[in-house]
Amino acid sequence: MTKAGLFITFEGIDGSGKSTQARLLADDLRSSGHDVILTREPGGSPGAEEIRALVLEGATDRWSPETEILLFTAARRDHLERVINPALARGQIVICDRFADSTRMYQGLSRGDLRAMVDQLHRLMIAKEPDLTLLIDMEPGLGLDRALSRKGSEERFEEFGEDLQKRMRAGFLDLAAEFPERFRVIDGAREIEAVARDVRDIVLDKLVQS
């Protein structure tokens, strides 16, 4: 492991298996002696977890699109300052379930084309990209079935339904093509263990290089 740490993110549509794979990867790396922090967005720090409740609960039109971008970015800034950057500076591996690519997709595409605004705010307030982004890709019907089967109160986005998830899937694949140096696309429509093997191979490869 490099002294500067390694920043790995998982991305993909709701229910694609990101949390499951992030947890398995963290366990696997820890059992081979790596120092790992497993975290998530929105949230990951006490302040950002409070913002999480504001953005994920309540009516779909609770926030204007612009306010929503500000809230997700505020949560990310706190998470970055208090958790991600300090961990990377200590040389830890940071595994994060969603990061800025989710804002590029959900806030950038779901309610009009606001990608330029998302990117501007990102440059100003975050200015950090992962070393490696694992996109768990699958057909949206499958992800939505899985996501809805664990029904909870955080449903503002899941309730947008399959049409939005289709656009998100296509958007994530476009994003992978836009940033090919850090993105790897993994077929998520397989058994958990098969997906986990691909994840592990890609990460071990990256650790050897860095």
Would you tell me which residues interact with ligand TYD (CB under 6 A)? 14-15, 18-19, 41-42, 56, 72, 97-98, 102-103, 106-107, 147, 154, 157-158
Q: What is the chain's length?
A: 210
* Three-state secondary-structure class, residue 189: coil
The reply to whether 19 sits near ligand ADP by the rule CB under 6 A is yes
The minimum distance between CB 204 and ligand TYD, in angstroms, equals 25
With CB under 6 A as the contact rule, the residue among 5, 8, 11, 16 that binds ligand ADP is: 16
The CB density around residue 62, as the number of other CB atoms within 10 Å, is 13
The reply to whether 95 sits near ligand ADP by the rule CB under 6 A is no
The reply to whether 148 sits near ligand ADP by the rule CB under 6 A is no
Burial 99-112 (b: 16+ CB within 10 A, else e): bbbbbbbbbbbbbe
User: Taking CB under 6 A as the criterion, which residues in 106-135 touch ligand ADP?
Assistant: none
- Residues whose CB falls within 8 Å of the CB of residue 139, separated by 6 or more in sequence, listed in order: 169, 189
The reply to whether 52 sits near ligand ADP by the rule CB under 6 A is no
The token duo for 37 is 């922090």
| Listed ranges 16-24, 54-62, 63-71, 160-168: which one lies at the site for ligand ADP (CB under 6 A) | 16-24
Q: Where are the alpha helices (DSSP H) in 110-161?
A: 115-125, 140-149
In this complex, which beta carbon is closest to ligand ADP, that of residue 113 or of residue 191?
A: 191
